[in-house]
């Protein structure tokens, strides 16, 4: 029972805004909103719903938190300018820290998804076009697959959508490639120029 309560509180903490903190209580949980200097109480039932309730129940509770200003509305799509900033930021981090270290940071930048509805091909398609358009226009990024994959993965997961990031290899000639998969699509393509890559590392769950 203690483990279930801990898991429920962890799931709740993941969707809260940065200025909010959750404290367990015997009858549920207390959310401290330090931005507005106020406290909100939640019943133990509502806390459990966030972690493992059905789609309608979870949506109702999360929507209430969004309206109260304690959780971000992850359903809003990022703007092209915002995508460009994420893309350049990811590219800078990869160059400064190395791709491997950036992958280890993804659990912080891209938390587990919380939405019950699956991403549609239309949603992912719009993001794919925007990411690749920004990438091609930037002489700095210049179509770097690692930067595109990390940016797409982070933006999808931060909107509460299911996504997985793959790193693959090809033997002859040897090459590495990275892509994010969601809603049956890959960002960038999983087989650029018709070359297939075998995944050797996958981060996240789901994917096409």
Question: Each residue of 158-188: pLDDT tens digit?
Answer: 887 889 999 999 988 889 999 999 999 999 9
Final residue belonging to a domain, choices 10, 43, 67: 67
Which residues 6+ apart lie within 8 Å of 85 measured at CB?
none
Task: Give the closest residue to 103 by CA, choosing from 31, 16, 178.
Answer: 178
121 contacts 184 by C-beta, under 8 angstroms: yes
Question: Whole-model pTM?
Answer: 0.66
Same-domain status, 122 and 176: yes
User: Based on the domain organization, do 96 and 170 belong to the same domain?
Assistant: yes
pLDDT in tens, 112-128: 655 656 788 998 999 99
Q: Is 129 within a domain?
A: yes
Which residues span the domain enclosing 125? Answer: 80-204
Domain end point (choices 67, 101, 119): 67
Same domain flag for 36 and 126: no
pLDDT at site 92: 95
| pLDDT score recorded for residue 177 | 95
**CB count in 10 Å sphere of residue 175:** 12
The residue with greater pLDDT, 2 or 178, is 178
Phi, psi of 146 (to 5 degrees): -65, -45
pLDDT the model gives residue 1: 47
Residues 195 and 123 in one domain: yes
Mean per-residue pLDDT over the chain, rounded: 84
Residues in the chain: 208
What's the CA gap between 138 and 149, in Å, rounded? 16
Same domain, 62 and 91: no
Instruction: Look at residues 67, 96, 124 and tell me which one is the last residue of a structural domain.
Output: 67
Q: Is residue 168 part of a domain?
A: yes
As a 3-state breakdown, the chain gives helix, strand, coil percent values, each rounded to 5, of 50, 20, 30
Domain total for the chain? Answer: 2
Q: Is residue 73 part of a domain?
A: no
Asked whether residue 155 is domain-assigned, the answer is yes
Pair (84, 63) in one structural domain: no
Cβ–Cβ under 8 Å, residues 53 and 20: no
How far the first Cα of the chain sits from its last, in Å, is 35
Residue 207 scores a pLDDT above 50: no
161 and 137 within one domain: yes
Range with the poorest average pLDDT among 4-13, 41-50, 102-111: 4-13
Do 187 and 88 lie in a common domain?
yes
pLDDT digits (tens, 9 = 90+) for 6-39: 777 777 777 787 778 888 888 888 988 887 888 9
Answer yes or no: is pLDDT of 206 > 50: no
- pLDDT tens figures, 140-151: 888 899 999 999
The answer to whether residue 153 sits within a structural domain is yes
* pLDDT given at position 55: 66
Burial of 28 (0-12, 13-18, 19+ CB in 10 A): middle
Residue 208 is predicted with a pLDDT of 45
The pLDDT assigned to 86 comes to: 93
């Amino acid at each position: 029972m203690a483990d279930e309560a801990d898991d429920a509180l962890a799931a709740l903490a993941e969707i809260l805004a940065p200025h909010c903190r959750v404290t367990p209580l015997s009858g549920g949980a207390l959310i401290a909103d330090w931005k507005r200097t106020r406290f909100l109480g939640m019943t133990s039932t509502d806390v459990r719903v966030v972690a493992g309730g059905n789609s309608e129940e979870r949506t109702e509770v999360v929507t209430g938190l969004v309206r109260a200003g304690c959780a971000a509305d992850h359903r809003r799509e990022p703007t092209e300018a915002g995508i460009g900033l994420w893309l350049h930021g990811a590219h800078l981090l990869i160059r400064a820290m190395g791709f491997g270290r950036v992958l280890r940071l993804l659990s912080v930048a891209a938390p587990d998804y919380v939405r019950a509805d699956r991403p549609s091909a239309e949603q992912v398609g719009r993001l794919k076009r925007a990411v690749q358009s920004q990438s091609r226009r930037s002489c700095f990024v210049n179509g770097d697959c690692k930067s595109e994959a990390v940016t797409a993965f982070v933006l999808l997961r931060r909107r509460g959508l299911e996504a997985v990031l793959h790193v693959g290899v090809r033997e002859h000639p040897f090459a590495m490639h990275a892509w994010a998969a969601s809603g049956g699509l890959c960002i960038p393509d999983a087989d650029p120029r018709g070359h297939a890559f075998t995944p050797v590392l996958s981060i996240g769950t789901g994917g096409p």
